[in-house]
Chains A and B, each alone.
Chain A
Amino acid sequence: MTNQYYEFFCPVKVIAGKAALEHIPYELTGLAAKRPMIVTDKGVRAAGLLDPVVAACEESGLEIISIYDDVPPDSSTDVVRDIAGIYRSEKCDSIIAVGGGSAIDTAKAVNILVSEGGDDIAAYSGAGVIKHPLKPFLVVPTTAGTGSEVTSVAVITDTTKSVKLPFTSSFLLPNAAVIDPRMTLTLPPHITAATAMDAMTHATEAFTCMAKNPLSDAYATAAVKKISTSLLQVMDNPKDSDGRLELAQASTMAGIAFSNSMVGLVHALGHATGAICHLPHGLCMSLYLPYVLEYNLESIRAPLGELLLYLEGPDVYSATPASRRAEASISALRKMRDELHKRCKLPRTLKETGSVEEHQLDTIADMAMDDGAMMFNPKEVSLDDARAVLKRAWA
Chain B
Amino acid sequence: MLAKRIQPMVFQARRLYVELMFQVMGRALQAVSEIDSAVQKEARALPDGFLFEMMVMPDGSRLIVEHTGNGRFHYHGDSAPRPVDLSIQFKHIAHAFLVLSFQEKTSVAFANDRMLVDGDISYAIRMTRVLNRLETFILPKLVAKRAVKEYPSNLHLPEKLLSAARIYLKVATHFVETVRA
As a 0/1 sequence over residues 24 to 38 of chain B, the CB contacts with chain A under 8 angstroms (1 = contact) are 000000000000000
Contact A3 B118 (CB under 8 A): no
Contact A379 B150 (CB under 8 A): yes
Contact B107 A3 (CB under 8 A): no
Contact B118 A210 (CB under 8 A): no
Closest to A262 in B: B111
Complex Cα distance, B88 from A127, in Å, reads 12
Closest to B113 in A: A7
Is residue A185 within 8 Å, beta carbon to beta carbon, of the partner chain?
no
Is residue A314 within 8 Å, beta carbon to beta carbon, of the partner chain?
no
User: What are the residues of chain B within 8 A of A3 when measuring CB–CB?
Assistant: 103-104
Complex Cα distance, B148 from A262, in Å, reads 19
Interface residues of B in 14-50 (CB under 8 A from A): 45
Interface size range on A against B? 20 to 34
As a 0/1 sequence over residues 117 to 141 of chain A, the CB contacts with chain B under 8 angstroms (1 = contact) are 0000000001110000000000000
Among A5, A6, A7, A166, the one with the most B-chain Cβ atoms within 10 Å of its Cβ is A5
User: What are the residues of chain A within 8 A of B110 when measuring CB–CB?
Assistant: 375-376
Is residue A211 within 8 Å, beta carbon to beta carbon, of the partner chain?
yes
Interface residues of B in 94-129 (CB under 8 A from A): 103-104, 107-108, 110-114, 116-119, 121-126, 128
User: What are the residues of chain A within 8 A of B119 when measuring CB–CB?
Assistant: 126
Q: Which stretch (A10-18, A32-40, A319-327, A366-374) binds chain B?
A: A366-374
Is residue B149 within 8 Å, beta carbon to beta carbon, of the partner chain?
yes
User: What are the residues of chain A within 8 A of B116 when measuring CB–CB?
Assistant: 127-128
Q: Contacts A372-B125, A380-B149; is A126 near B112 (CB within 8 Å)?
A: no
User: What are the residues of chain B within 8 A of A372 when measuring CB–CB?
Assistant: 121-122, 124-125
Contact B112 A370 (CB under 8 A): no
As a 0/1 sequence over residues 94 to 133 of chain A, the CB contacts with chain B under 8 angstroms (1 = contact) are 0000000000000000000000000000000011100000
User: What are the residues of chain A within 8 A of B114 when measuring CB–CB?
Assistant: 5
What distance in Å separates the Cβ of A375 from its nearest Cβ neighbour in chain B? Answer: 5
Contact A126 B111 (CB under 8 A): no
Contact A127 B118 (CB under 8 A): yes
Contact B108 A375 (CB under 8 A): no
Contact B107 A370 (CB under 8 A): no
Closest to B148 in A: A380
Contact B128 A371 (CB under 8 A): no
What distance in Å separates the Cβ of B47 from its nearest Cβ neighbour in chain A? Answer: 13
Contact B122 A371 (CB under 8 A): yes
User: What are the residues of chain A within 8 A of B125 when measuring CB–CB?
Assistant: 369-372, 374-375
Contact B103 A376 (CB under 8 A): no
Contact B121 A210 (CB under 8 A): no
Contact B126 A5 (CB under 8 A): no
What distance in Å separates the Cβ of B67 from its nearest Cβ neighbour in chain A? Answer: 15
Complex Cα distance, B123 from A376, in Å, reads 15
What distance in Å separates the Cβ of B117 from its nearest Cβ neighbour in chain A? Answer: 7
Contact B150 A380 (CB under 8 A): yes
Complex Cα distance, B121 from A127, in Å, reads 10
User: What are the residues of chain B within 8 A of A262 when measuring CB–CB?
Assistant: 111
Closest to A9 in B: B113
Residues of A at the B interface (CB closer than 8 Å) are: 3, 5-7, 126-128, 166, 209-211, 262, 369-372, 374-376, 379-380
What are 18 sample pairs from A and B whose C-beta atoms fall under 8 A apart?
A: A7-B112, A126-B118, A128-B116, A128-B118, A166-B121, A209-B111, A211-B111, A211-B112, A211-B113, A370-B126, A371-B125, A372-B121, A374-B125, A375-B107, A375-B110, A375-B128, A376-B110, A379-B149
Given A210-B107, A211-B113, A375-B110, 6 other A-B contacts at CB below 8 A?
A262-B111, A370-B45, A370-B122, A370-B123, A372-B125, A375-B125
Residues of B at the A interface (CB closer than 8 Å) are: 45, 103-104, 107-108, 110-114, 116-119, 121-126, 128, 148-150
5 interchain residue pairs of minimum CB distance = A380-B150, A370-B122, A211-B111, A210-B111, A372-B121
